[in-house]
Amino acid sequence: MSNFKKELQRRRTFAIIAHPDAGKTTLTEKLLLFGGAIQTAGAVKSNKIKKSTVSDFMEIERQRGISVSTSVMGFEYRNLQINILDTPGHEDFAEDTYRTLTAVDSAIVVVDVAKGVEIQTEKLTKVCRMRETPIIFFVNKLDREGLDGFDLLDEIEQKLDVKVCPLSWPIGMGQRFKGVYNMYERKLVLFNPHGKQEDEEIIVFEDLSHPDLEKHIGESPARTLREEVEMLETVYPAFDKAAYLRGDICPVFFGSAVNNFGVKELLDCFVDIAPTPRARETEERVVQPVEEKFSGFVFKIFANMDPRHRDRIAFLRVCSGRFERNKNYRHIRLDREFKFPSPTMFMASKKTLLEEAYPGDVVGLYDTGNFKIGDTLTEGETLHFKGIPSFSPEQFRYVDNADPLKQKQFAKGLEQLMDEGVAQMFTRQSDGRRIIGTVGQLQFEVIQHRLNAEYNATCSYEPVSLHKACWISSDDPKALEEFLDRRKRDIARDKDGNLVFLAETAWVLQTVQENFPKIQFHFTSEV
C-alpha cells in the first residue's frame, strides 16, 4: 500500500455537536486527554471557568463559558490521526456549526440524559441527515438522575428520525450508577466516582448469565441488566458497519464526560468504525480523496486568534491529494496562484508548522484578506465545492461608528468580522446605512466585544424593523430593473455586492413575491 493510501486510511475527521450545556466541550477535552494531546483537564463547572477548557480560546468564550466559534484539534490515537472539530452549541452560532459540518466525515452528537433531545440537537442532526453523515450518539451525565434509557432511545428515534443501535448500556444512574456494559466489546466497565480514569475497572464478560455478575454489581442491578440487554438485543438491530456508514443506523453510548467515564469505550469503537475521508461534491464533478491532485475548500475564517498579532487564519479542509508547504496552488475565485510558507495544524489555540497534509486534515492558512468562506484551492483544475450555506438572518440592527476618530479601525474590524461569517452586513442603497443581520441575539454582543477588544473601535446599534433579508435574482433583466426601481427603499447589497431585498413584514414579503413573479427570492445563499 502506498504511503499516501496509508495516510488516508489513518484519518478520522469528525464534529462534536450538541445543545448548549450537554457537555460537548468537556467530552472534547476528555478525548484529547486519551490522545495524550493534553495533560490536565480544565474543569468546566457551572459556566464559571476556573481554568478554561482547551478548546475555548476567545476572550468572550472564557468569560461566558460557552463556545462561540469552532475549534479544530488534531491528535494521534492508536496510530490514527484524529481531527476533532468542536462546534458552538449555542443556537446563535448555528451558522458556524452548519458550515463546519461540511468539513467533516462523521459526527458525535452529545445528549444530556436529563434533558433528552433538545431543539438545537434536532436542527444539527437534521443537517447531518441531509448530508448522509454517519452519527454516533453519546448520552452524557449518567452520574445524575435522568430519563429512562429506553425512553431516551425512543425519543432520539422519534424526534431525530433515526434508527438507533445501543452499543453500551447503563447500569443504574445518578446515585445508583454502577457503570456501563459495553455491548460492542462484551465488557463490563465499573464506575468509581472518586477514582481516576485508570482506576476504572474493566472486566471482560462474554456471557451475562455468569453468576460472577452479582459479585461485581449486586443482585438487583444484575437481574435488571440481564433483562434489559435481552430486550435491547430483541428490539434493536444488530450493529452493521455498512448501515452506520450509510447513515441508516446510529450507535449509542452512555457515560459521564465530566467523570471521564464511558469516553474511552466511545473513542475505541469510534476509531474502529468511523469513516475515513469521504468523497466531496463540486459543481463540476465528485472529487475522490484518493485522487493524486490536491484540492480543498475554506469553511471558516478566523481573525485574531492571537490578539497580539493581527493574524487572520483561513481553515481549509483537504479533500483530495496532498497539500504541501510552499507549493503553488490556484485560488479559483481570484484565479491567482498562492503559496503558503507557514501553514499550521491546530491543537486548540496552539499551532504547529506543517509540512504536508492529507485528505481529512484541516490546515490553517495565514490570510491577508484573500479568502472568503467557500473558496477553493486546487493544483489547477476549476472546482467549486457545494453546500456551504449562508442563511437568511432573522435579527437586524443599524450599526454605526461610535467614535469618529476611529473610522478606519471600525471599517476594517467590521469588514473582517463579516468575512469570518460572524454575521452579515447589508448596505441600504437609498441612504448608504449599514445594517447587520444575525441568526441570533448573542452575535451583536460578540461583534461589539470583538470590535473593542481586537480593533480598538466602538460601535452603536439602533433598532430597525425588518422581518427578513433575502437574496434576489431574475432571468429577466427588464423585470429585475423594474423591481429595483419600484422597491428602491428596500434594496440593499451584501458585502459581496449581491442584491438583497429587505422585507419589513411577512405580509410585505408575500405580497412582493405575488406581484413580481419573475423575481426569485432566495433564503440561503450557497456561498
- Among 274, 234, 271, which Cα is nearest to 250's? 274
Burial of 504 (0-12, 13-18, 19+ CB in 10 A): middle
Does the residue 387 lie in any domain? no
Q: Judging by DSSP bridges, how do beta strands 520-522 and 468-473 pair with one another?
A: antiparallel
Predicted TM-score of the model (pTM): 0.76
* CATH number for position 419: 3.30.70.3280
| Nine cell digits for residue 402 | 461610535
Q: Could you tell me if residue 486 is inside a domain?
A: yes
Q: pLDDT (tens digit, 9 = 90+) per residue, 234-261? A: 999 999 999 999 999 999 999 988 888 8
Domain closes at, from 349, 378, 407: 378
The reply to whether 448 falls in a domain is: yes
In a domain, 384, yes or no: no
| pLDDT for the residue numbered 219 | 87
d(CA 321, CA 5): 10
Instruction: Tell me what pLDDT residue 159 has.
Output: 93
Domain that holds residue 254: 3-273
Q: What is residue 303's predicted lDDT score, i.e. its pLDDT?
A: 64
User: Does 144 lie in the same domain as 61?
Assistant: yes
pLDDT at 251: 96
Tell whether 269 and 299 lie within a shared domain. Answer: no
421 and 344, same structural domain? no
Q: For position 42, what pLDDT does the model report?
A: 45
Same domain, 417 and 365: no
Cell 456494559: give the residue. 181
Residues 49, 197 within the same domain: yes
pLDDT tens, 116-170?
998 878 878 887 887 889 999 999 999 899 999 999 999 999 999 999 999 999 9
Q: Are residues 396 and 505 in the same domain?
A: yes
Would 457 be classed as within a structural domain? yes
Cα–Cα distance list, 227 to 171, 193, 234 (Å): 12, 25, 11
Q: What is the 3-class SS of 310-335, one letter each residue?
A: CCEEEEEEEEECCEECCCEEEECCCC
Say if residue 37 is in the same domain as residue 145: yes
Question: In this structure, is residue 383 part of a structural domain?
Answer: no
Query: Do both 216 and 246 map to the same domain?
Result: yes
Instruction: Look up residue 48 and give its three cell numbers.
Output: 464559571
Q: Pairing state of beta strands 135-140 and 249-254?
A: parallel
Spatial distance between the Cα atoms of 92 and 4, rounded to a whole number of angstroms: 40
d(CA 73, CA 336): 30
116 shares its domain with 213: yes
Asked whether residue 142 falls in the same domain as residue 254, the answer is yes
pLDDT along the chain (527 residues), means of 10: 88 87 80 65 37 47 45 83 73 63 91 88 82 92 91 94 93 87 86 58 73 82 90 92 94 90 89 94 93 93 60 87 95 94 71 86 87 90 79 83 91 83 86 86 82 88 90 91 92 89 92 92 67
* CATH code for the domain of 147: 3.40.50.300
Classify residue 385: in a domain, yes or no.
no
Alpha-helix runs per DSSP H in 138-182: 149-160
Residue 291 lies in a domain: yes
CB under 8 Å to 42, separation ≥6 — which residues?
29, 49, 50, 51, 52, 53, 54
Q: How many domains does the chain have?
A: 3
Which positions ≥6 away from 379 have C-beta within 8 Å? 293, 294, 295, 321, 329, 330
Does residue 262 sit in the same domain as residue 353? no
* pLDDT tens column, 319-378: 999 999 999 999 999 999 999 998 888 664 456 778 899 999 999 898 887 888 889 999
Sign (positive/negative) of CA torsion 366, 370, 376, 377? negative
Residue that finishes a domain, picked among 252, 273, 294: 273
Mark which of 332, 352, 378 sits at the end of a domain: 378
Q: What are 118-122's contacts with CB under 8 Å, separation 24+?
A: 118/19, 118/22, 119/19, 119/91, 120/18, 120/19, 120/20, 120/89, 120/90, 120/91, 120/94, 121/17, 121/18, 121/19, 121/22, 121/160, 122/159, 122/160
Looking at the structure, do residues 204 and 99 belong to the same domain, yes or no? Answer: yes
